[in-house]
Amino acid sequence: MKNFNRRQMGALALATTLCLGAATLASAQEWMPTKPVRIIVPITGSTNDVLARLIAPKLQEVFGQPFVVENKPGAGGNIGADMVAKALPDGHTLLIGYNGPLAINVSLFDKMPYDPVKDLAPITLMVKAPQYLVVNPASGITSVKDFVEKTKANPAKYSYGSVALGSASHLTMEMFKSAAGFHITHIPYRGAGPAVGDLIAGNIQAGFFVPGNVQQFAKEGRLKLLATSGLKRFASTPDIPTLSESGYPDFEATSWIGFLTTGGTPAPIIERYNREIVKIVRSPEITKRLLDMEFEIVATTPNQFRDWIGSEIKRWGKVIKDTGTKAE
């Protein structure tokens, strides 16, 4: 080493730095799973499940390993999310998460088995969408005004279902109850499938659900759409007003879905997943499917998704505090 002059030492240092930088870039590009990857869906019969099963085969094509979708519902999504939070941080366990276990439950539950900010690593916020306020046609309810009047007049007669305790489906109705001053009993389910099934059967009378869960049933006349929880009408149902238009100014509640993995997973793995999932979500085939389901495609970076979760924790925390809602 003593025979090297300063110029040679500088060149050697630069070469070493460039090699390290290239190695880091290569690791981000070349990381591959070495065994089957689990995609945990913390809810059943929902758009989360549909999206997981849309994306899984595409990821399998990219990575050459099976991507197995597993439904692990319960405790408002906490059971499935906790499984991912406690998995090995090696990229072989993914979570398709939503408002409840990522942003709502920290304020809704007195005790959480995981910290959604520290124990889960965001990959990308894929989609978001407002919801429909939906009723069973046999209820005789014809409008938002009629819904509020009837529930105020006879609260014991009406109940509503949600896709899970602590979901946007749950908290949106609690927001609406607070804004309109009526009471209706909450029946939490383990996914949209059983909740919508009971709504069609008349076992519950109402609910808030994303379009993909209820539009087809509305077209068939088995459900009635009253309003949307967004600030603008859905393009596919221009005759259905927003709650804001229906007498509740600035009322807005959004459901969203994204991919995460275990906290502490190395950045190159997260970056690789982000790049591939965003590419899949923005592909013509998947884009069409998502738009048909009335989703807004977001496809963020990991940092943008992290910031979004932080802002949603504050937003839904305020709703929970203002409405006095707690886990039953």
Chunk the chain into consecutive blocks of 10 residues (it has 328) and report each block's average pLDDT, rounded to whole numbers: 47 47 49 97 90 97 97 94 98 96 94 97 96 95 97 95 91 94 94 94 96 94 96 91 95 94 97 97 95 92 97 93 84
Query: Tell me, what amino acid is at 143?
Result: S
How much is the pLDDT for 5? 52
What is the DSSP secondary structure assignment for residue 155, as one 8-state letter?
G
pTM: 0.83
Sign of CA dihedral 6, 7, 8, 12: positive
Tokens linked to 243:
């709650």
Please tell me the predicted confidence (pLDDT) of residue 44. Answer: 87
pLDDT at 188: 93
Can you say how many angstroms the Cα of residue 293 is from the centroid of all Cα atoms in its chain? 14
CA distance 288 to 159: 35
The answer to whether 258 and 285 are in contact (CB under 8 A) is no
Question: What is the edge-to-edge ordering of all strands in the sheet holding 120-129?
Answer: 67-71, 37-41, 93-98, 255-262, 120-129, 296-297
Residues in contact with 182: Cβ distance below 8 Å, sequence separation at least 6, in sequence order: 148, 151, 152, 155
